[in-house]
Amino acid sequence: MHLSRFAITLVVFFCVLVTFIYTSPGLANDQEQLVHISAQSALLLDVANGQILYDKNDREPRAMASTTKIMTAVVALGGADIKGTVTVSPRAAAVGESSMYLEPGEKLTLEQLLYGALLRSGNDACVAIAEHVAGTEESFVLLMNEKAVLLGAEATSFRNTNGLPAQGHYSTAYDLALLARYALHDPAFCRIVKTRAQVIEGPGGISHYLKNTNKLLWHYPGADGVKTGTTEAAGKCLVASATRGDRHLLAVILNGSDRFADASRLLDYGFGEFKAVQTVYAGAVYERVNVTDGVSDTVPVKALDDITVDLRVDGTDRLEKKIKLLRNISAPVYDGQPLGKICVYVNGIQVGATNIVAGCTIEKTTLWQKAARIMKNACSKNL
């Protein structure tokens, strides 16, 4: 009985934090006067909490070029040993356009190929990765699309691993932000995308020199990723991240005339115009709620997790917290049992949520305890 009650309640409220990015439709219309972005689509979010700070046509599907390789890395890191040895096939070596110039039969580790894909933007490296992980590039692309669905990237479709032009290969600024935010929780991914340059030994004593195509790593304070992309169809694209203090921001630029300037302006806007404010504290008791048939008539409820949101430094944002509780709570109630959730809103838009849980166990009253309580209440009335 204990486990079933707890499990049912947990399922009811497991929706908390399943949403990966908290959205604010039309936000950019109010912010264009503060930061001008040339790109056709753009988005800025806080990596820690997923709160969107700027958006411009962020749900508009378009070609995304080599920013595709973010998902290639996500699937590879989740599906194979990063230190495993990969033998480059003739098909992989023959892939053109942007390349790290692999040779057929060359042996590298998966990690080295990821450096080639994410720094040098090697299309050949992507195919070699795909064949190693899934047997063929086509099978690997199926895994990419499956992962996109799992992560909620509903307006994304992959047809290859590298972003070369293909019918039905597209994404949105919103979806790319979602995928990149997920990727940035992987330490190996973070280590690779913040690397400015890497030298990898090749066959015959010839080395692969890999220089990161993301110029922000040299020119923007705190820049630590992520990936560029350029094709005629997609224009100039960039997914860029930067960290200052305890704040980590992510900017997405699709089809911009000056992607690095656009990303710099967005990141400056996020760091300069907003501050992180903790609004909910894990373990803090927020109220007591009534319990029927328990040894106590009430139970304290506390927040399961911290919630930190981004607020404008000028103090113009309106902050609200709302607690939503289960109705008709009856004993037994167990310490840590979900009883509702607390939601945080900025300017009427939900930007964070966490479960509200019982702060202690309230046992069910026995028949003797009920009788004793009735007698006690009766005596109190007679006095």
As a three-state string, the secondary structure of 61-83 is CECCHHHHHHHHHHHHHHHCCCC
What is the token pair recorded at 242? 């930067």
Predicted confidence band of residue 12 (pLDDT cuts 50, 70, 90): very low
For 340, which DSSP code? E
- pLDDT at residue number 19: 40
Cα angle vertex 164, ends 103, 250, to 5°? 105
Mean pLDDT within 95-120: 94
- pLDDT at residue number 203: 75
Work out the percent of the chain whose per-residue pLDDT is above 70.
Answer: 87
- pLDDT at residue number 1: 38
Mean pLDDT within 295-316: 95
pLDDT in tens, 323-351: 999 999 999 999 999 999 999 999 999 99
- How many Cα atoms sit within 13 Å of 307 on the Cβ side? 29
Binding residue numbers: 227
Residues assigned a catalytic role: 66, 69, 121
- pLDDT at residue number 20: 47
- pLDDT at residue number 369: 65
Binding residue numbers for substrate: 227
Mean pLDDT within 284-298: 93
- pLDDT at residue number 202: 77
Question: Is 197 a residue whose pLDDT tops 90?
Answer: yes
Mean pLDDT within 29-43: 84
- pLDDT at residue number 366: 78
What is the token pair recorded at 54? 């700027």
Yes or no: say if 325 and 286 are a contact pair by the CB < 8 Å rule.
Answer: no
* Measured torsion, CA atoms of residues 333, 336, 337, 343, in degrees rounded to the nearest 10: 130
Question: Is 190 a residue whose pLDDT tops 60?
Answer: yes
Domains (range + CATH), the chain: 2-20+281-367 (2.60.410.10), 34-274 (3.40.710.10)
Residue 167, helix vs strand vs coil: coil
DSSP 3-state percent helix, strand, coil across the chain (nearest 5): 35, 30, 35
* Measured torsion, CA atoms of residues 15, 21, 25, 31, in degrees rounded to the nearest 10: 150
Give dist(CA 168, CA 160) in Å, integer: 10
The alpha-helical segments, DSSP class H, found in the chain are 2-13, 27-31, 69-79, 90-93, 110-118, 123-134, 137-150, 173-183, 187-193, 216-219, 259-273, 367-382
Cα angle vertex 160, ends 46, 164, to 5°? 85
Give dist(CA 226, CA 74) in Å, integer: 13
Q: Collect all residues with Cβ–Cβ distance below 8 Å to 234 and sequence separation of at least 6.
A: 62, 63, 64, 65, 163, 165, 254, 255
- pLDDT at residue number 372: 62
Angle between helical axes of 69-79 and 123-134 (0-180°, round to 10): 30
Quick one: three-class SS letters along 168-201?
CCEECHHHHHHHHHHHCCCHHHHHHHCCCEEEEE
Mean pLDDT within 118-140: 98
- pLDDT at residue number 370: 65
Taking the CB of residue 199, how many other CB atoms lie within 10 A of it? 11
pLDDT in tens, 202-254: 777 789 999 999 999 999 999 999 999 999 999 999 999 999 999 999 999 99
pLDDT in tens, 45-102: 999 999 999 999 999 999 999 999 999 999 999 989 999 999 999 999 999 788 999 9
Predicted confidence band of residue 2 (pLDDT cuts 50, 70, 90): very low
Predicted confidence band of residue 3 (pLDDT cuts 50, 70, 90): very low
What is the residue-averaged pLDDT of the chain? 90
- pLDDT at residue number 123: 97
- pLDDT at residue number 15: 39
Q: Are strands 197-201 and 207-211 parallel, antiparallel or unpaired?
A: antiparallel
- pLDDT at residue number 43: 98
pLDDT in tens, 361-381: 999 987 776 666 666 666 666
Mean pLDDT within 27-38: 73
Yes or no: say if 21 and 48 are a contact pair by the CB < 8 Å rule.
Answer: no
- DSSP lists the bridge partners of residue 309 as 277
Question: Is 8 a residue whose pLDDT tops 90?
Answer: no
Mean pLDDT within 109-122: 97
Predicted confidence band of residue 5 (pLDDT cuts 50, 70, 90): very low
What is the value of pTM for the model shown?
0.87
